[in-house]
Structure 1
Amino acid sequence: MADTMQFDLVAPERNLMSVPVREVRLPGEDGDLSAMPGHAPTIVNLRPGLVTVVDAQGAESQFAISGGFAEINNESVSLLAEIGRKREDMTQDVFDEMMRAAHRKAKTAEAKAASTGAEGVVASAAKLLADMEALGTHIGLDPNSSNFPD
């Protein structure tokens, strides 16, 4: 078995990383997981959180994402993030914009639920906002610093 696998992290605005890695730790919707060379093929929905990448030399990099999905197989991980930033690039302004996007998504979900009676959609929207708040708190940013739409 190979010691590394290819990792690609893509956000709508740009390719954030494309390197051989030893391990990728992902914030899955159903729980956190690690992908390493030889991992069984799967597609994982991601919640807001930190992605930790251990490169071929053992150095760690972190990225804050607002959600997305990852395709994992035994030789690679391809992660498509809704919004993604290097951990060191996360400022309060960047986090506030991610929170505004999460609030817009939650509002849309609530409106859809009101018209269709889908209570699960409201629960998913509430979880999205809670996960975004937890991400901000974890990296030392204030999830309540700005007035977000109700």
Structure 2
Amino acid sequence: MSKATTTVEGFVANELEVRDVNGHRVVKVTVPHTPRKFNKQTNQWEDAGETAWFTASFWDEQADVIVAGVAKRDLVTITGQPVPRAYQKQDGSIAVETDLKFATLGVIPRPSDRSQGRSGTPNAQSTSDEPWSTPGGAQSDAWSTPGSFGDDTPF
């Protein structure tokens, strides 16, 4: 018996939409990957192949969590068992999309995401220009407060 898994890291391609399938909530996350290479003559990155499309579906409670925490253009990793599916594009050519079954998804935080809300407006709770700072500053940062996690207990 063998088990193949694939992990893809990329940006969410579409706005997420919850659908109803036989009484269950489902959301599909799509992440494209286009190979790139650096052109030393132009000093720029260029596409170096066809775009591969990866999708993963999440159901019921997982769908709710994904919709609440993931948006278009978020950087994510998705890991699952690959199931390729061929389809015909509008121009008549054949393309392959890989569905990742039994998938897990992780969001990769980026500094611009932390200092701004989902709407792109500055986070009203942020009191620092530092994207890693906790709302309220160091005074309310549990990691900076001695004894706040029982770390004053000798081992």
Q: What is the TM-score normalised by the length of structure 1?
A: 0.23
Larger CA Rg, structure 1 vs 2: 2
Q: What is the TM-score normalised by the length of structure 2?
A: 0.23
